[in-house]
Amino acid sequence: MSILTQPWPWYITGPLIGLMIPLLLLLGNKAFGISSSLRHICAACIPTNVKFFKYDWKAESWNLVFALGMIIGGCIAGVVFKNPNNITLSETAVTSISTLGITNFSGLIPTEIFNFSSLLTLKGFILIIIGGFMIGFGTRYANGCTSGHSIMGMANLQWPSLVSTCCFFAGGLLMTWVILPIIMKL
Amino acid sequence: MKNLKFLVLGILFGFILIKGEVISWFRIQEMFRFQSFHMYGVICSAIAIGMISILIIKKFNIKTFSGEEIKIAPKEFTKGNVIGGLMFGLGWAMTGACPGPLYALIGSGSLIVIVVLLSAVFGTYIYGVLKDKLPH
């Protein structure tokens, strides 16, 4: 039982994520990638004449079913087999994150910032709404996300994916080291 | 129900993401601050296993279970790989999530992440509207 409630080390998690690639290829000839599902949601749910969303999204419905599965899997792992303890972060990370003004380290995300009432604060609005917007706009513009580029693309030796992955990290470093400390003071 | 297998794979993937804590804002901060090997270990070992699998599939010309030739579309380079990549990187460090983790987090009970997902869908929509005006 404890293997189902305890967090898994990287050498279990990473290889299992990697195995998604051959499983998707062998079971359905599908390339691993999640961000396309955001496009399919637009195509399926938003009545629009925009050319980018005029395609047969039903032919790609496997991607939406996969996303639905992830919600269910997240529920089983995060609710049914919930880890009763806080995440074991490195001590230096706890110190750094504390200096951002975060005191509550329970759960997977800092509930002090990510909650419904913080949507009405400038800080919460920027991190939740603008942050989400950047994920959707950026991944489609880059034609992939961490799964499609950093894992699938890199595993398939695609150099554009390497460029994208470097840019994902460059953006993340800029946010973490320069912009986030400013946002957290708002 | 030809999509059932993808539902099962999705459930497995969502489960793995939560148990590996790779969907945690805390872990993503730790990664971008180079304060733990965890995320780097996860990403690198996932790529390694994926790479070996693809090499084996190509080398032995392995077919899908239903007998189809396995085809992987190449990734083409555009300026979007850089500009969009930087934008996504900023959003990744802000929310601590990429598209996959959004779904898993919602399932794990973080309902506020539904708002992040809706914003991401909106961002994708605005990209579609502006696509022809953006440098590619």
How many cross-chain Cβ pairs, A to B, lie less than 8 Å apart? 510
Nearest CA to CA, how far is A178 from chain B (Å)? 11
Per-residue pLDDT tens over the stretch A98-140: 999 999 999 999 999 999 999 999 999 999 999 999 999 999 9
3-state SS class at A111: coil
| pLDDT tens figures, A54-79 | 999 999 999 999 999 999 999 999 99
* Rg of chain B taking only CA atoms, in angstroms: 18
Please tell me which residue of chain B has the smallest CA distance to A126.
B94
- Closest CB to B49 among A18, A27, A176: A18
pLDDT band of A1, cuts 50, 70, 90 = low
Q: Residue for token digits 């539904």?
A: B114
Containing H/E element for B126? helix B113-130
Backbone conformation region of residue A30, classed left if phi is above 0, alpha if psi is from -120 to 50, else beta: beta
Query: What does pTM read for this prediction?
Result: 0.96
Contacts of A126 in chain B (CB under 8 A): 94
How many angstroms away from the CA of B68 is the closest CA of chain A? 8
Q: What is the pLDDT of residue A9?
A: 96
- The whole-number pLDDT of residue B85 equals 98
| Residue A37 and residue A64 in contact, taking contact as beta carbons nearer than 8 Å | yes
Residues of B in contact with A54 (CB under 8 A): none
B34 touches A at CB < 8 Å: no
